[in-house]
Structure 1
Amino acid sequence: MSSHRLTFTDTSLTDGQAAVWAGALDDRMLLAPAGALSSSGLAAVEVLSPAVLDACMARDEHPLQRVELARRHYGSVPLRATVNLLTGHGRPGADVLGPTAIDGWLSALAAAGLQQVVLLDPLLELARLKAALESASTAGLTAIAALPYAADDGVSDETYAQRAASLVAAGAARVMLRDESGVLTPDRAHDLFPALVAALGSTPLDLHTRCHTALGTVVALEAGGLGVSGIDTALPSVANGASLPSLPSLIRVLQREHRHLDLPDLDRLLAADAILADIADQEGFPAAAAWPFDLATYVHQLPGEVAADVRQAVRERGRWADLHEFAAECAAVRREMGSPPMVAPFARAIAEQAMCHFDGEQRYESLRPVLRRLLQGAYGTVDGDLRTDLQARVGSLLSSESSSPTVEADLEADDEDAVLAWVAGVTIATVPRRAGVVPYEALTPYESLARGLLERAGRYATLSVHAPGVRIHLQQEG
């Protein structure tokens, strides 16, 4: 039996539904499983991430209102968000969220009811991470620093341990090994986790892994016995594949092995999952499914929803047999861009660039905006070598863009909408207004049918449906 308590954070409302439902879970649906999920004994529930923030903006939902709603409905369970210090929207001078933006955004999140934040700087630039961690602590948030993991040759356990220790020195209250591409194997975990735990000392180690290779659940199960303190998971309806391990599945194994007896309430978790399953059925969202093991994952190393989108795109092109060809091109683009970590904002841009080449475009005939900014050094220094011909082609940064703090100087940190506009890369005029949210309404199949017919009835003079036990007749008057 493990000598330390293992805790679990649910990411069904963020990364889980982003990977399986393409981010379609709106504010109404966010509230539906609140009663069951909040009373299940979770260490935290994640309610906001960069992908969810973008989805909220696209649906005209205010991201801070989403946190406020969750705070009112999820009781005492801590709420968490993930914040990426690098952006992909291309706003001049805002490629990196500087001190003013970070101070304002983290303060706004804390005021809305957030209690924990995962801070991700893909390039691990410690000066800006230190500033962000200090901002989080000042705002009263538990500051968790993300340590990106990749299946790259030459990166030793000792290197990861040194990086983890540097995050603690920068002020992290916890460190999260973040394997968003699902490429961590049980064999590697047996050496890596103890090295990280030793380097962190009394600072807890968390794990965020995915199930791209169908090994995520095994890695998560091993983690608890190797010193990991917290594990990110999802409910079955939005688990596996590009998503995270299913928490009910983990609990059943741990219970059978009599490990970590202080576990979340399985019945409450299953009740919450049943609510999400009903939403998926009513809305026509895809069912979660495990992915078979495939070595292509270790070549392209695409994270979460990016990997899911690519798989769909390759299938739609009728080129599933060429997946490994795409993976090789994706790896080549990454290498030519200096081998940045395969997380946002780099991963999607690399995948899109590779897909252009995969579709027959001459290599780098066009160039994705994020990659252009990467080549110009807007995000910082990458570990690998950049293609010098591409660097020469895009040129250097304009002098007005070379210093984010200078461009950020006019930002009012206490103006929540101004800060949100800066983070999201939009104008203040387009920031969604806060509005009343009606709880999600679960409908019977008959009610769903009737509502759908009523929505379409105006197009027809007469609309009739006859089936066993069902008779609906709608007719326009006059």
Structure 2
Amino acid sequence: MQVEDRQMVSTIMSLGGRPANSRREIKIIDTTLRDGHQSLWATRMRTEHILAMADKFDKAGFLHVDLMAPIQFDVSVRYLKEDPWERVRLAHQHAPNTKFRALVRSRNIASFDFLPDDVIMKWVERLYANGFRVIGSFDGLNDIDNIAAGLRLAKELGAETFGALSFCESPVHTDELYVRKAKELIEKTDVDSIMLKDAGGLLTPERVRTLVPAIKEVIGDRQLELHSHCLSGLTTYMYLEAVELGVDALHTSIAPLANGAGQPSTQRIVRDLRALGYQVNVDDQLVDAISEDIHTIAKTENKPLGAPLEYDGLHYMHQLPGGMLSNFHSQLATAGLSHRFDELLHETARVRAELAYPIMITPFAQFVGTQAVMNVISGERYSVVPNEIKKYALGYYGKLLTDIDPDVLKLILENGSSDISETPTEIPPALPDLQERYPNDSIDDLLLRAMFAGTQVDEMRRAIKNGERSEDAAGSLVSLVKSLSAKRDTGKITVKLNGLEVCIDKGDGKNV
């Protein structure tokens, strides 16, 4: 018996040896073309890669195929110099029988600040117009009001909708909270499915034993989906336990774009579900063929293959997503500060607790991570406060679930930019001005301009016209270290971290 076969038997026996007590069908939602390469290849799968495999995905039997979230638009425009809307249209043309999914990130979409309502609503309209018939949304604070209008519009247009309950571990993220948020999501949006979104890979078999039944009890006959990442080493086993407790659909990625920072592998999950007696109607041969295609891409372009991670208890403290961990590693090494990596992780955990336990997903993971870096590098905690941290503390991004540490809040308000109003103001519409400035642009390009500042859309268009490709390096922490070491007393410092541009306004020096 092979090692992996023994592991399968052990898993099944650990679940009580319960094959076929209910032969219901478990749906598979594929994440290979979206979160798989986002987690393992820094979102660098190109449209040509997707189209080369589209016919196989079209016949593989997945319930849905996850295709686009904000980061796919971001990377396509800024780094790959591809038109993301064209990717969407071509994918639907090459896989006409596939229900591709689009995920909307709150009221930010691909920005870090909130966007005007006219941009949000038009974005949802254009997702539908470009082919998406499954549209969902999530909010990093689980503030349902931030996602309700867009989900209602998607449903009015005729799309299937799903709303996410963003998961993390903290004293305030209790089962009772998720039950309350599930009820609110249904009442305000009437979504077709509920997605338990565990971007940090934090769910354990023990937690799903209470959480999944509690959510199932209040969502009626709506489908419950489970999305997680393999950062803890427990996720594959947790998936099987969650199915036993009533989860209807699992998010998986086809190996080798699985495991590590990605989702559990489709091949392993499907095999183990069938061994437990569940029906899984995916085509194994097509899945294997896609796997071969991915191996070929990885070999040709020197991209990494997903591999299981060992359990790391520190992960449950800092809860950083995999992409930011690798980013911290490389950037601290560039700055000659690799020896402070563990210190940075502990500081991240401390900042997260002080800031009322935001879930460590975009944009809050970047906010917390940036503040932790500044605390470590400057040597004086919260002496330098990014604008985004002050805006978060003042409620610009939604309702916090608990209070920020009062001593920390005092430092944030004192040392943050004095230009930020303590009361969030209404954001004026953006599209009329954009239409006036770019009268020849399509509405799709105008929406990209609403999110990507400067000439980035123009550069994408120019690169496409000239047949060019670009992989510009992202900003590093070196600029931050140099800026802080200069000990400037006044002025502004701009730092780029993991796609987030942070402006530190030190004003006239009186509040530094």
TM-score by length of 2: 0.78
The answer to whether the 8 Å contact 1:13/1:46 transfers is: yes
1:227 CA displacement: 1.3
Describe the shift of the 1:108–1:409 C-alpha distance in structure 2 as closer, same or farther (beyond 3 A). Answer: same
Equivalence for 1:158: 176
Counterparts of 1:435-474 in structure 2, within 5 Å, are none
1:396 CA displacement: 6.3
Counterparts of 1:309-324 in structure 2, within 5 Å, are 309-313=327-331, 323-324=341-342
Matched residue of 1:238: which SS?
coil
- Bigger mean CA deviation after superposition, 402-411 or 32-41: 402-411
Describe the shift of the 1:4–1:225 C-alpha distance in structure 2 as closer, same or farther (beyond 3 A). Answer: same
Equivalence for 1:297: 315
Q: Deviations over 1:76-99 (max 9, x none)?
A: 1100111102439778xxx22443
Q: Deviations over 1:442-469 (max 9, x none)?
A: xxxxxxxxxxxxxxxxxxxxxxxxxxxx
Residue of structure 2 aligned with 1:102, choices 110, 114, 120: 120
Q: Deviations over 1:376-429 (max 9, x none)?
A: 432122223331221233246359971124567756698222122224455686
Task: Give the Cα–Cα distance (whole angstroms) in 2 for the partners of residues 12 and 87 of structure 1.
Answer: 24
Equivalence for 1:10: 30
Q: Which runs of 5+ in 2 are unaligned?
A: 1-19, 436-440, 468-512
Specify which structure has the bigger relative contact order, considering alpha-carbon pairs within 8 angstroms and separated by 6 or more residues. 1
Q: Which amino acid in the other structure matches residue 101 of structure 2?
A: R
Matched residue of 1:404: which SS?
coil
TM-score by length of 1: 0.83
Counterparts of 1:18-417 in structure 2, within 5 Å, are 18-58=38-78, 59-87=80-108, 95-171=113-189, 172-258=191-277, 260-313=278-331, 323-359=341-377, 361-386=379-404, 387-394=409-416, 395=418, 397-398=420-421, 402-405=425-428, 410=433, 415-417=443-445
Q: Give the paired residue count.
A: 434
The answer to whether the 8 Å contact 2:230/2:260 transfers is: yes
Describe the shift of the 1:14–1:25 C-alpha distance in structure 2 as closer, same or farther (beyond 3 A). Answer: same
Matched residue of 2:137: which SS?
strand
Q: Which amino acid in the other structure matches residue 89 of structure 2?
A: E
Q: Which amino acid in the other structure matches residue 36 of structure 2?
A: G
Describe the shift of the 1:313–1:243 C-alpha distance in structure 2 as closer, same or farther (beyond 3 A). Answer: farther
Describe the shift of the 1:322–1:217 C-alpha distance in structure 2 as closer, same or farther (beyond 3 A). Answer: farther
Equivalence for 2:13: none
Name the % identity. 28
Task: Give the Cα–Cα distance (whole angstroms) in 2 for the partners of residues 60 and 264 of structure 1.
Answer: 34
Equivalence for 2:485: none
1:318 CA displacement: 8.0
Q: Deviations over 1:12-59 (max 9, x none)?
A: 122111111111111111212212222110011111112211111112
Task: Give the Cα–Cα distance (whole angstroms) in 1 for the partners of residues 108 and 44 of structure 2.
Answer: 21
The answer to whether the 8 Å contact 2:371/2:385 transfers is: yes
The answer to whether the 8 Å contact 2:70/2:109 transfers is: no
Matched residue of 1:237: which SS?
coil
Q: Which runs of 5+ in 1 are unaligned?
A: 439-478
Task: Give the Cα–Cα distance (whole angstroms) in 2 for the partners of residues 51 and 207 of structure 1.
Answer: 20
Equivalence for 2:482: none
- Bigger mean CA deviation after superposition, 113-122 or 370-379: 370-379
- Bigger mean CA deviation after superposition, 342-351 or 355-364: 355-364
Equivalence for 2:470: none
Describe the shift of the 1:414–1:229 C-alpha distance in structure 2 as closer, same or farther (beyond 3 A). Answer: farther
The answer to whether the 8 Å contact 1:242/1:308 transfers is: no
1:131 CA displacement: 0.9
Equivalence for 2:472: none
